[in-house]
A = this chain, B = another copy of it.
Amino acid sequence: MNLTDPMETKSKVGTDFAMQPIGFVRSPFQETSQVPRGLGAKHTKEGILEIRPELEAGLTDIEGFSHLFVIWVFDRSEGHRLMGQPPSDDRPHGVFATRSPFRPNPLGLTVVELVRREGNRLHVRGLDMLDGTPILDIKPYLSSISMEKLRRGWLAEAEARAKGSEPKS
């Protein structure tokens, strides 16, 4: 592999990438405490991804997809913590091994089910964002990792402990 010299790209660390909302989430959740969290939390709430009208053409043909990735901003979280204890476990884990809102870049990622589109408004199911959350991007969900191939680390262990059984090794 002919890799770029690490020192050369290191100077890019100081680079800021400025992102602007493409729209906002209309959600029934006004406060974090209302969002289901922890083991077995189900996200079934419906709401709307309201995209800026001038970007509506970018939604063309999105109706054909059952599920979408939404990349959004934890705009009500301040600062980051490299280690934290998620609601689904009684032990701390690294921020990149969790969905903690206190991330170096406060980005959220949610898979939602697309119920229908009305112009620049996407009616979706499975929200876990607060009302007014800024949306940065939407992408089609194209394929899945099969559950047989998936290992889920501390989360699987926490689930096993919660059931009172030993985690599989």
Contact = CB atoms under 8 A, between A and B. Distances in A.
Contact of A17 (B60, B136, B138): B136
Given A16-B19, A58-B95, A64 B107 contact: no
Nearest to A45: B1
Given A16-B18, A24-B12, A71-B107, A62 B140 contact: no
A124 to B, nearest CB: 13
Interface string A22-40: 1010111010000000000
A109 B139 contact: yes
A26 B12 contact: no
- Number of contact residues on A: which range applies? 35 or more
B105 A83 contact: no
A146 interface: yes
Nearest to A99: B139
